[in-house]
Amino acid sequence: NQDEEKLTEYLDELEFLAFTAGATIQKRFTQKLTQPDPKTFIGSGKAIEIKEYVKENEIGTVIFDDELSPSQLKNLEREMEVKILDRTNLILDIFAQRAQTSYARTQVELAQYQYLLPRLTRMWTHLERQKGGIGMRGPGETEIETDRRIIRDRITLLKDKLKTIDRQMATQRNNRGKVVRAALVGYTNVGKSTLMNSISKSEVFAENKLFATLDTTVRKVVIGNLPFLLTDTVGFIRKLPTQLVESFKSTLDEVREADLLIHVVDISHESFEDHIESVNNILMEINAHQKPMIMVFNKIDDFSYEKKDEDDLTPSTRKNVSLDEWRKTWMAKSKYPTVFISALTKENFPEMKKMIYDEVMKIHISRFPYND
Ligand code: GDP
């Protein structure tokens, strides 16, 4: 059943997010509803079922794979007597843990306050002894109880601070002159940092967790005597909280102002097609979808599926697919130059480098048409 497969994938991803945030998942609950209950998101029977499970097994937190409205969050917390996290809060928490520079920290803090503001009336009385933990990093409980006005002031302040940094970063980008700029884009955990490291011989942090990269890294890369700038950007994700899209404006500006996008896809992931779509949607949102793009299908070294017959190359059936076979798949028929590689083993790197060289050269020539 396709719907159920999708659901499992979504919950796998949520579990990976929870793991990244430092939680272990005990049990999954699902419910089919034509639409979410406006008061409690899930039905009342399901809420009781979860409440009983939580009590029996001394569970600390219940996580929802959607953004809950402020009142849904409040009602659920009151009814189930347990801390509730929604998808947005979970992602914000991971970002808070991972933000390295003061710029990223400012961005995350702003997003957290924006999330918090409409939820300020939330009651924490029954949870008083459960301070700290996931969803509580960044603005703490004392702030939750303070006046909305203080938070609004803080939001204004943070926005001003970001505006100043945005201007500085824009100047920096301008100062990079006419050198061609390529940006790595892609879903989180597809191998962008790994690729950045192997192309530019730099040491960008790569880890099998979601959102290892929050800050953009820019490196000068030279392929065949042609220098260009390569940027590693924050990974995209399905249902990226809108507060984050907005507050990571400057990070996304790197993408918006790039001359060439290198769209990295983890082809070993069963939902890679969904990932491509999510990334394309975000590119559309930030109006960067018409840029020249190269599709890089990564992790070709990583398969463990059975293959039924020659023509069958659907994700669930491929195994040890050769480069020639990859080149015959629908993926290779996109309107963009497409290449299949492994960032880990560097398989097929020469073809990828040639492709990047050709695209960068095209842009370079269009910029300096009268040079030899
Ligand atoms: P990012 O979030 O897109 O920057 O992804 P990372 O570069 O941090 O990589 C995520 C995980 O995928 C890490 O555990 C990498 O070691 C792994 N990875 C990256 N490229 C490959 C590849 O070509 N093959 C395999 N098997 N794993 C890879």
H helices then E strands: how many in the chain? 13, 8
Residue 21 sits in the same domain as residue 128? yes
Task: Indicate the length of the chain as a whole number.
Answer: 372
Ligand 1 probe mutation, 189, 202, 320, 352, most atoms within 8 A of CB:
189
- Which of 145, 170, 187 is a domain's end point? 145
Residue 74 sits in the same domain as residue 213? no
- Helix 148-175 / helix 249-256 crossing angle, nearest 10 deg: 30
User: Contact 228/360 with Cβ under 8 angstroms?
Assistant: yes
Ligand 1 atom, smallest distance to 187 CA: 3
Token code pair at residue 76: 């659920």
If you search the block for the tokens 């970002």, which residue do you land on?
Answer: 95
**What's the burial of 203, exposed, middle or buried (CB within 10 Å: 0-12/13-18/19+)?**
exposed
State in Å: Cα 175 to ligand 1 middle: 32
Is residue 184 in some structural domain?
A: yes
State in Å: Cα 60 to ligand 1 middle: 32
Residue 135 sits in the same domain as residue 57? yes
Q: Which CATH number covers residue 358?
A: 3.40.50.300
End-to-end CA distance of the chain, in Å? 60
The gap from C-alpha 227 to its chain's centroid, in whole angstroms, comes to: 29
Most confident of 6-20, 29-43, 204-218, 239-253: 29-43
Atom 11, ligand 1: which residue's CA is nearest? 208
The 10s digit of each residue's pLDDT in 183-203 is 999 998 899 989 988 888 755
- Helix 249-256 / helix 102-116 crossing angle, nearest 10 deg: 120
Is residue 158 in some structural domain?
A: no
Single-letter amino acid, residue 73: L
Ligand 1 atom, smallest distance to 341 CA: 23
Q: 190: which residues sit within 8 A by CB, 6+ positions away? A: 235, 264, 265, 266, 269, 275, 298, 299
State in Å: Cα 186 to ligand 1 middle: 12
Is residue 312 in some structural domain?
A: yes
The 10s digit of each residue's pLDDT in 114-137 is 888 888 764 444 444 445 566 655
pLDDT of residue 151: 85
Q: DSSP letter for 118, please.
A: G
State in Å: Cα 5 to ligand 1 middle: 24
CA distance 356 to 262: 8
The 10s digit of each residue's pLDDT in 53-108 is 999 999 999 999 998 999 999 999 999 999 999 999 998 888 888 777 788 888 88
Token code pair at residue 42: 């899930």
- Which of 145, 166, 194 is a domain's end point? 145
Ligand 1 probe mutation, 344, 345, 348, most atoms within 8 A of CB:
344
Atom 12, ligand 1: which residue's CA is nearest? 191
Is residue 156 in some structural domain?
A: no
Q: How many domains does the chain have?
A: 2
Ligand 1 atom, smallest distance to 232 CA: 4
Using alpha carbons, list the distances in angstroms from residue 20 to 94, 247, 331, 368: 7, 21, 30, 46
Ligand 1 atom, smallest distance to 343 CA: 23
State in Å: Cα 195 to ligand 1 middle: 8
- Which of 122, 145, 168 is a domain's end point? 145
CA distance 18 to 372: 55
pLDDT of residue 136: 56
- Give the residue among 31, 26, 28, 63 at the shortest CA–CA distance from 44: 31
Residue 203 sits in the same domain as residue 110? no
Q: What confidence tier does 212 reach under pLDDT thresholds 50, 70, 90?
A: low
Is residue 170 in some structural domain?
A: no
Residue 186 sits in the same domain as residue 137? no
Token code pair at residue 361: 């050269």
Read off the pLDDT of each residue in 345-364 and give the average, rounded to a whole number: 94
Residue 236 sits in the same domain as residue 345? yes
Is residue 372 in some structural domain?
A: no
pLDDT of residue 9: 85
The 10s digit of each residue's pLDDT in 8-30 is 888 998 998 899 888 999 999 99
Using alpha carbons, list the distances in angstroms from residue 296 to 155, 176, 284: 39, 26, 19
Residue 137 sits in the same domain as residue 188? no
Give 35-38 contacts, CB < 8 A, sequence gap 24+: 36/66, 36/72, 37/72, 38/69, 38/72
State in Å: Cα 206 to ligand 1 middle: 7
**Structural element, H or E, at residue 62:** strand 61-64
Residue 243 sits in the same domain as residue 338? yes
Atom 18, ligand 1: which residue's CA is nearest? 191
Ligand 1 atom, smallest distance to 342 CA: 23
Atom 22, ligand 1: which residue's CA is nearest? 299
Query: Residues with Cβ within 6 A of ligand 1?
Result: 186, 188-194, 206-208, 212-213, 235, 298-299, 301-302, 342-344
Atom 2, ligand 1: which residue's CA is nearest? 189
State in Å: Cα 302 to ligand 1 middle: 10
Is residue 337 in some structural domain?
A: yes
State in Å: Cα 10 to ligand 1 middle: 20
Residue 262 sits in the same domain as residue 348? yes
Q: What is the ipTM of this complex?
A: 0.98
Residue 22 sits in the same domain as residue 128? yes
Give the domain range for residue 12: 2-145
Is residue 157 in some structural domain?
A: no
Residue 86 sits in the same domain as residue 214? no
Single-letter amino acid, residue 320: N
Instruction: Using a pLDDT cut of 70, give the percent of the chain over it.
Output: 80
Q: Which CATH number covers residue 79?
A: 3.40.50.11060
Residue 190 sits in the same domain as residue 336? yes
pLDDT of residue 107: 86
If you search the block for the tokens 């603005």, which residue do you land on?
Answer: 139
